[in-house]
Amino acid sequence: MWDEYQEYSRVISLLKVAGEIQDRKKLQKIVYILQMKGVGFNEKFTYHYYGPYSTELQMEVTSLSDWGFVSETSKQTESNHVCYTYSLKEGSDYENEYDDVQEVIDNAEIIKHLNSIPTHVLELIATIFYLKDYNYPTDENNKDFVRKKINALKPNLLNVFDEAWEKFIEIDKIQLKLII
Amino acid sequence: MVDKKIFRDPIYNLIIFDKKEDKVILDLIDTFAFQRLKRIRQLGLSWITFPSATHDRFSHSLGVAYLAGMYLDNLRNVPNKIEIIDETGEYEINRKSLKLLLQVAGLLHDIGHGPFSHAFEKITKIKHEQISIKLIKSNEIKFILDSVENDELKGNLSRWVVQILDKSFSVRWAVDVISSQLDVDRMDYLLRDAYFCGVKYVSFDWEWILKNIMVEKIPALGGREGIVVNAAKGVYSLEAFILSRYHMYEQVYFHKTTRGFEQVIAKIMGRVNEFKGDGLKFDNKYYEQFLNDNQDIESFLMLDDFVIISQIGVWAKECDDTILQELCACFIERRPFKMIREVTNDSYLSPDENDKIQRFFINKRLDKKHFVLYDTSKNNPYKDAYLEGESIEKAENIWLMKRDGQVVEFKEVSDMVKGLNLKKTYRVYVHNRFYDEINQILKT
């Protein structure tokens, strides 16, 4: 059953496990990949310029920030890009307001792994998961096919395709602890 | 005009297709899957609040196909030959072929919508985009598409329509025509929804916007080509467009009563999904079949607003599950959940208030989740990302070209847009039976 509060609880649990997530794009892609792996995030993602993106997720994070549970800090990078960093706000009462979501807590290892991957590589991995979700062939034998799709979709990221592809295959095979 | 098929339309007056050149469009309109859209309301439950909002996804889809054609007819800087690259090879098509491709994509973009789509998708976890693509790849529609009488599109049309709808098409600006902040889908539904809801102050000059659009490189997006509007000529009509979105959002799409009922439908669908295997009786076997197998497209195609409402009507009278019966009765007898709290930029309820409500339902031996609804704009399918400020992805902007040739984001040339910001509104509703008691508890 869809439960509004659970949607916020999942984001809180994610940040609890990850500690800190640098870059809004990274947070988006982590949640998307977890969703694709069966973790119960319910937000709707659509394909945007930087790959799968959810306005619902962003609004949840912004709301949690407005309510004082999540810290959102920003800084300008060398390439003039604004980078947002997210973490749970110290001293806030999130423990009382939101229960831990066990499915997220139990999968801390993959969350930390995804969080350690550079954002642009994660963007490409998420895009490959998107292709998989839309029934394009993305198994190990179809690397060339996927490369051609990425060439059409994200030619600027072709230079990291091999790295992203290896990581996608590895992540795709990982079995998560899920609530059925 | 015997060689033309003409549809009367309250928004565009006449939508005209050529029987020969647009045969593929007319053949698609005649399919069962497309005709089904006549039984799915565009605005879900808004007719509860706006009685004339009974227009359907069929007329909207026709409107989008029409606008997609107008868009291409007016779009400047379109090359004579458009290069397409995909996994099967490299192709070149002309503008006329691209126009037909986009019209077909526009026609089919909503074909996979279920009844009360947003709630349906949340509960079944099936996206309408994926169902649309499944239908396009199905035998009947794929055959029609790939038999198109156009040498450049024959054998490719179904694949390219899928790529436009799943946004993997290599011509990115073409995808923007169908899906972006300035797309034909949004333009049509704003105009159509305003008309049928009777919201007269919502209006924008779509013809003028289309007269001032072009394909240009957008430096902020790494030089990728996108749809750009002539700032000098188009800024005011664009402002009207954005204001239309704002007003429709506030007045119609996020109307508190409509949203309350939409949440009730979501609760009903959720409860049905929970108990479908426990002896719950379905009058319509296709509803049950689809819930048991959400890949069963044949059953999906038998579902529409009338099927679901009819089933709800039966359950409101006869149902072994009292909670489901009560939720269905709330809907059929128009007994909406009542709003006990509406806040802006603040949390729904304090932890203390949440506790009080929780204890109230525990004392009554009831599960709070069936009788309390939470709603916020993020749940609204018509959420307007453009006005949400920080929730918008940087690349999802409307781009304008200034007189000096610089391509900039809309907010940089429009003071009006800079000033517009949707409030973040949070609402809590309770079943009307408990409204007075809970209200009292929250006051203490």
CB B11 within 8 A of CB B18: no
Mean pLDDT of B43-53: 95
Residues above pLDDT 70, as percent of chain B: 95
Residues above pLDDT 90, as percent of chain B: 72
pLDDT at B383: 61
In the numeric block, which tokens belong to residue A160? 């990291």
Instruction: Give the Cα separation of B382 and B45 in Å (integer).
Output: 13
pLDDT digits (tens, 9 = 90+) for A124-135: 999 999 999 999
Q: What is the 3-state secondary structure (H, E, C) of chain B?
A: CCCEEEEEECCCEEEEEECCCCHHHHHHHCCHHHHHHHHCECCCCHHHCCCCCCCEHHHHHHHHHHHHHHHHHHCECCCCEEEEEECCEEEEEEHHHHHHHHHHHHHHCCCCCCCCHHHHHHHHCCCHHHHHHHHHCCHHHHHHHHCCCCCCCCCCHHHHHHHHHCCCCCCHHHHHHHCCCCCHHHHHHHHHHHHHHCCCCCCCCHHHHHHCEEEEEEHHHCCEEEEEEEHHHHHHHHHHHHHHHHHHHHHHHCCHHHHHHHHHHHHHHHHHHHHCCCCCCCCCHHHHHHHHCCCCHHHHCCCCHHHHHHHHHHHHHCCCCHHHHHHHHHHHCCCCCEEEEEEECCCCCCHHHHHHHHHHHHHCCCCHHHCEEEEEHHHCCCCCHHHCHHHCCCCCCCEEECCCCCEEEHHHCCHHHHHCCCCCEEEEEECHHHHHHHHHHHHC
pLDDT at B209: 97
Q: Which residue of B has its CA nearest to A35?
A: B125
| Interface contact B222-A156, CB threshold 8 A | yes
Residue B349, pLDDT above cutoff 90: no
**Beta-carbon count within 10 A of B54 CB:** 13
Mean pLDDT of B190-216: 96
pLDDT at A83: 84
pLDDT band of residue B381 (cuts 50, 70, 90) is low
Residues of chain A contacting residue B273, judged by C-beta atoms under 8 Å apart: 1
What amino acid occupies position A55?
T
pLDDT digits (tens, 9 = 90+) for B228-280: 999 999 999 999 999 999 899 889 998 999 988 988 998 999 899 888 878 89
Residues 6+ apart with CB under 8 A from A179: A40, A102, A103
Residue A66, pLDDT above cutoff 70: yes
Q: Which residue of A has its CA nearest to B386?
A: A55
Strands B13-18 and B4-9, bridge-based pairing: antiparallel
State how far residue B54 is from chain A, nearest Cα, in angstroms.
Answer: 26
Of B148 and B395, the one with more pLDDT: B148
Lowest mean pLDDT among A42-56, B18-32, B50-64: A42-56
Closest CA to B198 of B10, B30, B386, B59: B10
Mean pLDDT of A68-92: 85
Instruction: Give the Cα separation of B406 and A129 in Å (integer).
Output: 36
Closest CA to A123 of A150, A144, A89: A150
| Interface contact B374-A131, CB threshold 8 A | no
| Interface contact A47-B345, CB threshold 8 A | no
pLDDT at A17: 96
pLDDT at A127: 96
Mean pLDDT of B174-179: 95
State how far residue B82 is from chain A, nearest Cα, in angstroms.
Answer: 14
B376 in contact with A at a CB cutoff of 8 Å? yes
Mean pLDDT of B211-240: 93
Residue B40, pLDDT above cutoff 90: yes
Say what the pTM is: 0.93
CB B311 within 8 A of CB B282: yes
Residue B439, pLDDT above cutoff 50: yes
pLDDT at B423: 75
Residue B390, pLDDT above cutoff 60: no
Of B417 and B127, the one with more pLDDT: B127
Q: Which residue of A has its CA nearest to B162?
A: A134
Residue A2, pLDDT above cutoff 60: no
pLDDT band of residue B29 (cuts 50, 70, 90) is very high
pLDDT at B156: 96
| Interface contact B168-A59, CB threshold 8 A | no
Give me the residue from B127, B383, B426 closest to A55, CB to CB.
B383
Residue B42, pLDDT above cutoff 80: yes
* Candidates B87, B109, B186, partner chain A, best to mutate (most A CBs within 10 A): B87
In the numeric block, which tokens belong to residue A43? 């937000």
Instruction: Give the Cα separation of B330 and B317 in Å (integer).
Output: 11
